[in-house]
Amino acid sequence: MPEANTTHAVDVCLAALEFQDYVSRMNEQRSKMRLTPLEIKIGIHTGSVMAGVVGTAKFTYDIWGVAVNIAERLESAGEAGQINRTRLPNDRMAGANRLILRKTE
């Protein structure tokens, strides 16, 4: 059973920034090899989900729920290199002074 994480909202934002940084570094290497650059779009939403291991021959861990669907829609609607997230309540953003968030229309 997963343990509760009170900093999950900040952690996922930081992870998204790390993903972007990694892709940027990979693209520097790909450019030297004249390969097409990779693109990444990220959608973030927090909420309750159902999770479990599925499969009979090949097992995989998967999650389902409204929160997952919202995050997927945010990712799909985004542009390459962009992080889209829903507004997080202030109590979930405690300690987020490490992040600079920019509101867009």
Let me know if residue 2 belongs to a domain.
Answer: no
Range of the domain at 73: 8-86
pLDDT in tens, 2-38: 688 888 878 888 899 899 999 999 999 999 999 999 9
Q: How confident is the model at residue 96 (pLDDT cuts 50, 70, 90)?
A: low
What are the φ/ψ torsions at residue 54 (nearest 5 degrees)? -125, 160
CA distance 20 to 58: 30
CATH of the domain at 24: 3.30.70.1230
Q: Is 104 within the bounds of a domain?
A: no
Residue 105 lies in a domain: no
pTM listed for this prediction: 0.73
Let me know if residue 97 belongs to a domain: no
Number of structural domains the chain divides into: 1
Token pair of 15 as six digits: 């992870």
Which burial class, exposed, middle or buried, applies to 13 when counting CB atoms under 10 A from its CB (0-12, 13-18, 19+)?
buried
- 44 SS3 class: strand
